[in-house]
Structure 1
């Protein structure tokens, strides 16, 4: 059965690859871009492109309404993909940089979901896919605010799953590692100007690694798109999905470290409970 998709941010990267993959199998895609036209060839009536800045709440509501109209009143899959990264030392980030990042990467998806949910619930069946990042599960240096934004989207997804799963709406947070897209270009990454001293071995090292990685990432966006098709078709999709061997390695290392720390401090953790009162 063909599906009707609403995907934010289809002009490049994973959003573009996903739109192409869905269209290639005969699905209908309503996708958003901030400007221009995405490099996609599609059968007439299968692709609809809307201009949208996901920091504009009123525009989001209008775009979601239009997407339902263009899709004949039903959206099967809503994908929150639009976003960007902010790299650099935390103390170098400005208020404006932090606020715009959260407006795009957290409040944008929140507003898309809020606008779509009444009709998704009424359908009794739908999928929501939130593209987060391995940075939201296993952060590294030089990405504190980006990790914070993706952590927020991860938490939103986990709680939303518990709210809407009984209503037929299935939710997945997808955390990609490094994929060979232009994510590290100026289109998708903002760099805070480095002013603070003493971060050469942490932020500086991480920033250099990001720069040298561009064009060498292990992840294939077309393979990632095919993986996303599988989860939206699966009768019981995962709540959390990692994409890429690097994401898997980082997630396992983080989980192991957390488990070890929990065990180390378990006595102190449980010491804060009220002492048991002996029965009189």
Structure 2
């Protein structure tokens, strides 16, 4: 049934059936908002979240633009508007660049960059019509600084960062806000076998480091210090602000990454300042 009179904030969350997406859905519902929880298997999403009057579960594969269009249409038909879009769905292709296949690299970018683009492209006409809305994309500290074994993942997240920064400049005139979230290490399901695909070892020069890295990361799964439930509640709080931050450093380790990145850029800018500043036409 369509509810065009509701004053509730309406959230659409991708990848809401597990991990951080599930925590965000539960936090938004607990705060009194309506939630459209999406995933490739909406039945599993519904089972994970449980029954709620203000919950709608919808099938959405973010790599399929037609799914995105249908999800936005279902949202507006049920709740009348859309206030917060959370681009959360993701996976992780881990490995050295030389050992990741071209297909794997493309698949990574397809999910982490083109996926959010597909859903946001479908949502923007409704937000422009409303002259309001927030597009929140879950990035990573790997979107700010390169990490060994994360070349494909970082490539996609760096792309997400640049796209979101530019998008903000384009849509602010319509009252639409954007927010990038850069989590450090949180106890989500990113490092589980369901989410992480490791490159097939093929090159002897990388073999020992690959073995150590995979062992270390598998041991890290379930031991990360960040609490995704706390992060989810923080995001609900930030989304309610008149002006949410353009970037949010999620976790002590993320704050350190922000600081290190900022200092490194300043150092690089100053290292060859004289040469950099001498390149104008005479």
Q: Same fold (TM over 0.5)?
A: yes
Q: Secondary structure at the match of 2:98?
A: helix
Which residues of structure 1 form unaligned runs of 5+? 276-280
| TM-score, reference length from structure 1 | 0.93
Structure 2 matches for 1:46-85, cutoff 5 A? 46-72=54-80, 74-85=81-92
Pairing partner for 2:31 from 15, 25, 34: 25
Instruction: Give the corresponding residue for 1:278.
Output: none
Counterpart in the other structure of 2:49: 40
**Structure 1 residue aligned with 2:146:** 139
**For the Cα contact (< 8 Å) 1:7–1:81, is it kept in 2?**
yes
Answer yes or no: is the 8 Å Cα contact 2:183–2:250 preserved in 1. Answer: yes
Moved more, 148-157 or 55-64: 55-64
In structure 2, the partner of 1:120 is 127
Q: 1:260 to 1:199 in 2, by over 3 A?
A: farther
What RMSD, in angstroms, separates the aligned Cα atoms of the two structures?
1.6
- Figure out how many residues of one structure are paired with residues of the other and give that number: 273
Contact 2:64 2:118 in 1 (8 A): no
Contact 2:59 2:67 in 1 (8 A): no
1:161 is matched with: 168
1:51 CA displacement: 1.4
Describe the SS at the equivalent of 1:199. Answer: helix
Contact 2:34 2:55 in 1 (8 A): yes
Per the TM alignment, residue 41 of structure 1 is displaced from its structure 2 partner at its CA by: 2.2
1:94-133 aligned within 5 A: 94-133=101-140
TM value normalised by structure 2: 0.92
Q: Is the 8 A contact 2:63 2:118 kept in 1?
A: no
CA distance in 1: counterparts of 2:235 and 2:162, whole angstroms = 20
TM-superposed CA distance for 1:199, in Å, is: 3.0
Matches within 5 A, 1:128-207: 128-199=135-206, 205-207=212-214
Q: How far apart, CA to CA, are the structure 2 residues paired with 1:79 and 1:173?
A: 10
